[in-house]
Amino acid sequence: MAKVIYPGTFDPVTNGHIDIVSRAIELFDEVIVTVARNPGKTSLFTIEERVEMLKESLKDYERVVVDSFDGLVVNHAKQVGAVGIIRGLRAISDFEYEFQMALMNRKLAGEITTILLMPHARYTYLNSTIVRNLAQFQGDVSEFVPPIVVEKLKLKFGNKEG
């Protein structure tokens, strides 16, 4: 059974992330969406909140598991028996960082392959930071994120209307 992990901070999960999961599940038997604890980033949502939003957003996807981890992605991939690491590649600006990470991960664990997947064109400009900023100023994020995320963002930013 070919299993992959899709790590990220998912702060919050967007429709672009969901699109990557739907592409990955067409290629692999199981996709483990893994919320990473990133000490270099200040998160809006706790790990538990992000896991909850992912589980709700992905509940209709069979063969998708949601978990979290601390440490190196390649070590987590080994622990769960994954053959690869899925990464989303939105624009050329993502390429250099993802290329460097893929090469480092290959150096650390040559048996783990990094697979770069591109989302649908309508999600190429979308990221969690843009969604958080839009929500902070009461912008409508409903076309960019799953319904549970819309609700959680409203609660975080005190937006009771839309």
**Kindly report the CA angle at 138 between 120 and 153, in degrees rounded to 5?**
65
Torsion region of 138: left, alpha or beta (phi above 0 gives left; psi -120 to 50 gives alpha): left
Residue 156 known to be catalytic: no
Residue 93 known to be catalytic: no
List 76, 90, 132, 152, catalytic entry: 90
List 37, 41, 59, 122, catalytic entry: 41
* 91: Cα within 13 Å, side-chain hemisphere: 7
Residue matched to tokens 């969604």: 131
Residue 50 known to be catalytic: no
How far is Cα 18 from Cα 99, in angstroms, rounded to an integer?
Answer: 22
List 57, 87, 128, 152, catalytic entry: 128
Question: Which structure tokens are listed for 75?
Answer: 């070590």
Residue 17 known to be catalytic: yes
List 17, 50, 87, 152, catalytic entry: 17
Catalytic (active-site) positions: 17, 41, 90, 128
